[in-house]
Amino acid sequence: MARKGYWVAIVDIDHQEGYKDYIALNRHAFEKYGAGRCRTLWALFPSS
């Protein structure tokens, strides 16, 4: 059975001006799921 790997990160945004640009570029996703200064990020990696 193939196993998957995950990365999980909790990120606190310090550079608010740059984050405004990021929010503007990803507006649709943030309108649907919300956006805040503290973010929990995860990435899924399939097995090789």
pLDDT at 41: 77
The reported pLDDT for the residue numbered 37 is: 65
Q: What is the pLDDT of residue 35?
A: 66
Cβ-contact 45, 3 below 8 angstroms: no
In a structure prediction context, what are the per-residue pLDDT tens digits for the chain, which is 48 residues long? 677 888 888 878 788 788 788 878 888 887 887 766 667 777 888 775
pTM of the model: 0.41
Q: 48, 24, 46: which is closest to 35 by C-alpha?
A: 24
What is the predicted pLDDT for the residue at 13? 77
Q: What number of H helices and E strands is found in the chain?
A: 2, 2
